[in-house]
Amino acid sequence: MTLNVPADLQLLDAQDALRHKRDEFLVPDDIVYLDGNSLGCLPRGVPARLAEVTQQEWGEHLIRSWTRNAESAQDWMALPDRVAAKVSRLIGAGADEVAVGDSTSVNTFKALAAAMSITERRVLLTDADNFPTDLYMAQGLNRLLGGSWEIRTCPNTEIMEHLTPDVGVTLFTEVDYRTGRKLDMQGLTARARELGILTVWDLAHSAGAFPVDLNGCGADFAVGCGYKYLNGGPGAPAFLFVAGRHHDAAPVFLSGWMGHADPFEMARTYSPAAGARRYLVGTPQVLSLSALDEALNVFSDVDMNVLRQKSLSLTDTFIRLMEPLAEKHPLTLVTPENHDERGSQVSYRHPDAQNVMKSLIERGIVGDFRTPDILRFGFTPLYHAHADVWRAVQGIQAVLKGQK
């Protein structure tokens, strides 16, 4: 694709403080990849790290790798803690408040189970349009609890009004996976705390996408994915945040041996490890944890406020360039234009969204379709330039022209 990128966008790219970060990723140049909100691009350091882990750590050192060199990258036992420390920096948490392992779904179960067991109330408030796994986990847990909870739902635009003193726990996703709407986590958490409500935040589309400050907000619990904006690779381990003030009060229900204070003591009863390490369950997923560990190094010199500014500049540019298309075609912007209410994705409704996305992907514009009629485009400031936004819109224009 040779396209004349407008001068104003070229200038923005020339002045981009994060420009050099793109070189740290393998970004295919035959497509415009707008799905880093679903599976982040491959950080270039990961293949070498995985080769080392498989060939040396696994192949040669075998079981000795669990404990050798407590200080080195070869100590598999400490790997979850090292990764947790890197994640904690991105979400405004203490390193001992984060556990990395399992999937977001499983961590949602752990967070909900803990939260629901430390309140006398019996109402869980969530969003009927929340990501399905969040709802399913709440439903499954309620079955285990004999259906003793009311799972109450409200639109995510009306949460504040639904925070009432009978609500025990809230489960909301900070950035809606369909619309890209970002909630006021600070304001909602503050109000929840005033009312004695415990908050569980799903940060699937937040961690690595913009600054998150869990402790600054006073959040109680949070979960998030390793494979989206954190670029940890397909099926990367997820994270769980439990505010330090709850560690001793919130029982551990998935009390596996890796969360034990001394796993190799092989004791008959469970006693929790210090801090969030107690929320680990079984043997750490060393290969995928190593990939995530390496991927997180990309963030080590990134100012998340700078990243946020670039994200907004990319999504602003996309929305602006799409305006003439939205006038001509049945496209409706569903992502808020207000910066405070926007994550790092932009979504449009289109009556034939599924086919439009199919054609876009054939043309090399890789976003995704979400039922029933959403076209979703994710922007990742670490490896996108404004020129990519321009290329994407040229492709979208061509596809829409070809539509009836």
Q: Catalogue the active-site residues.
A: 131, 202, 227-228, 376
Measured CA distances, 264 to 227, 257, 268 (Å):
31, 9, 11
Give 222 or 353: the residue with its C-beta nearer to ligand PLP: 222
Piece in contact with ligand PLP (CB under 6 A), picked from 16-24, 66-74, 126-134, 384-392? 126-134
Q: Does position 273 bind ligand PLP by CB under 6 A?
A: no
Q: Does position 105 bind ligand PLP by CB under 6 A?
A: yes
Number of residues that bind ligand PLP (CB under 6 A): 13
> Among residues 65, 74, 88, 104, which is the contact residue for ligand PLP, using CB under 6 A?
104
**Cα Rg for the chain, rounded, in angstroms?**
22
Give 40 or 395: the residue with its C-beta nearer to ligand PLP: 40
Give 177 or 390: the residue with its C-beta nearer to ligand PLP: 177
> Among residues 10, 103, 153, 397, which is the contact residue for ligand PLP, using CB under 6 A?
103
> Among residues 88, 126, 142, 173, which is the contact residue for ligand PLP, using CB under 6 A?
173
Q: 184 labelled as ligand-binding?
A: no
| CA 288 from centre of chain | 16
Q: 96 labelled as ligand-binding?
A: no
Q: What are phi and psi of 377, to 5 degrees?
A: -125, 115
Q: Does position 131 bind ligand PLP by CB under 6 A?
A: yes
Q: Does position 204 bind ligand PLP by CB under 6 A?
A: yes
Measured CA distances, 107 to 198, 253, 255 (Å):
16, 11, 13
- To the nearest whole angstrom, how small is the minimum distance from the Cβ of residue 279 to ligand PLP? 15
Residue ranges that bind ligand PLP, judged by CB under 6 A: 103-105, 131, 133-134, 173, 177, 202, 204-205, 225, 238
Instruction: Extract the annotated binding site.
Output: 104-105, 131-134, 173, 202, 205, 227, 257, 283
